[in-house]
A = this chain, B = another copy of it.
Amino acid sequence: MNETNLKTFLTSNLNIDEAEISSITENCTVRKFKKNEYLLRKNEYCKHTFFVEKGLLRQYSIDDKGKEYILSFAPENWLVTDRESSYFNKPSAYFIEALEDSQVVLIDETFVQLLSKTIPNFTDFNNILLHNHIRHLQNRINLLLSAVALDRYLEFIRMYPDILLRVPQTMVASYLGITPESLSRVRRELANKNFKQ
């Protein structure tokens, strides 16, 4: 196996030795997904946490009119899963899809539960992940409540300058909760004011 990024991710966040690292990675599957391939579809049961070794994923929903709403992007070294589905065993309301050819580590949900029992520090580690997730979601809600299109966009390029360059504008717009046309306008205004990028 060769999940270099995952190993680094684990060692830098978790106080464990080589053997334990291996016992984790041995129990995970590595899979490649082609661009536009699905890791999870609506109404399926999400059984994994996905760790992105290479590539880029997105999690999104589709409403009754077919409009898409992106809840998160997941580039290298990011985790993504639908915890509502994987933890509570409910059919997922979301899709997870590869936006680029990607290499992904599949971490089994039941295996995660097991790790808490066997590796002492794993609980803390998992706690950090959950709290980071909560922090991230809470900030996003606050932004959606308080900020207009321009400010949402500025915040996005501040937070995810890398992702901006890797996904079509349409998807940035979908993440921000505005139309691609609106985003285009916002960008033009910024350009007129001589901001770059």
Tell me the A residues contacting B by CB distance below 8 Å. 61, 63, 67, 69, 71, 83-84, 87-88, 93, 116, 123, 126-127, 130-131, 133-135, 137-142, 144-146, 177
Contacts and interface: CB of A to CB of B under 8 A. Distances in A.
Given A69-B145, A69-B146, A138 B137 contact: yes
A131 B83 contact: yes
A141 B142 contact: no
Contacts of A71: 138, 141-142, 145
B146 A61 contact: yes
6 contacts: A63-B146, A83-B131, A83-B138, A127-B130, A137-B138, A144-B177
B131 A67 contact: no
Contacts of A145: 69, 71, 144, 177
A71 B61 CA distance: 22
A141 B146 contact: no
A67 B130 contact: no
A116 B140 CA distance: 29
A83 B136 CA distance: 11
Contacts of A177: 144-145
A146 B93 CA distance: 13
Given A93-B142, A144-B141, A177-B145, A131 B61 contact: no
A135 B146 CA distance: 21
Given A67-B146, A71-B145, A84-B134, 4 more contacts: A83-B138, A134-B137, A144-B144, A144-B177
Given A67-B146, A141-B71, A144-B144, A135 B83 contact: yes
Contacts of A67: 146
Contact of A135 (B84, B116, B141): B84
A12 B71 CA distance: 33
Nearest to A64: B146
